[in-house]
Amino acid sequence: MSFFKRLKESISNKTEAVTKQFKDGLEKTRKGLVEKVSDLVIRRKKIDEEFYEELEEILIGADVGVSTVMNLIEDLRVEVKKRRIEDAAELQPVLSEKLTELLRGDENNELRMNPDGITVILFVGVNGVGKTTTIGKLAHRFKQQGKKVMMAAGDTFRAGAIEQLEVWGERAGVEVIKQQAGSDPAAVMFDAVQAAKQRGVDVLLCDTAGRLQNKTNLMEELNKIFRVIQREIPGAPHEVLMVLDATTGQNALQQAKLFGEKSGVTGLVLTKLDGTAKGGIVVAIRQELNLPVKLVGLGEKIDDLQPFDSEQFVHALFAGLIQQVEEEESADQA
């Protein structure tokens, strides 16, 4: 069975709505990456040195990451020799198979939940990446699953951050624990944990500052928050999710490297994937950081935050090709 056929079968038992969200959300990347590869295949037909060079340029242009691209091209060379592939068109399913392998990784990318008691999820990341929006959308998602959710407005330094979280609280029908702007974030977390215990909350989602206006070191502030949460709920936080803006490409990767090393990040959230042609950054991040991508933002709507699924991702990218392969197979059978 061909790779595309296997991919389609494994997707077929997943929700149609989610498949559509991935397809719609990755439309720009599909045009920037897969359609360029298809165009290259049609133009060149033969696999030679120039073909590899152009393919390399396309992949780097989609922000797959230089070292990842070099390894990928090397893998493709090996496969071409091993399978004795001469026609460039035969390389497309091999490329998609390799991308799926690169994205899959060994980790389980499901959110870690506390089996007995409150699950605490802490969100970190610089300002402007869509952190507060992500928290609001995740609150809505948990609420839809029947969980009792609460949010903590721990970003007390950015103007308007508390109000922004409150707007999301109203939308999702979730209580927000807050103090005045400029308050101590650790004190907000203490209040939030106490309130969550009293109200029998299942999930507590905590916002944190992306930058501090005073001289306090951001990592010191985060460590203080960690200590307060751990003291009140042993084993918490259960996830520390770093939110990255996919439209910033390699810049997001650098942020993750700098921030992630020091703040105990357990997983990543990539927002605004629908707004970029450089969705290959998911592959680069997955390869260069030993961290799973747990959630992706695929649009503006409240339910457009989805758990990351490597098969959905690749299927969405190669949707046009899969259809083409199916039509060709049907024509051959007829």
Q: Which residues are annotated as a binding site for GTP?
A: 125-132, 207-211, 271-274
Spatial distance between the Cα atoms of 79 and 155, rounded to a whole number of angstroms:
50
Smallest Cα–Cα separation from 238: which of 118, 74, 326? Answer: 118
Count the Cβ atoms, other than its own, within 10 Å of residue 148: 16
Helix (H) / strand (E) containing 307: strand 305-307
Spatial distance between the Cα atoms of 295 and 133, rounded to a whole number of angstroms:
13
Spatial distance between the Cα atoms of 330 and 314, rounded to a whole number of angstroms:
23
Binding-site annotation, residues: 125-132, 207-211, 271-274
SS percent in the chain: helix, strand, coil, step 5: 55, 10, 30
Count the Cβ atoms, other than its own, within 10 Å of residue 326: 14
Spatial distance between the Cα atoms of 234 and 226, rounded to a whole number of angstroms:
11
Spatial distance between the Cα atoms of 27 and 32, rounded to a whole number of angstroms:
9
310-317 and 319-333 helices cross at what angle (nearest 10)? 70
The whole-angstrom distance between residue 137's C-alpha and the CA centroid of its chain comes to: 14
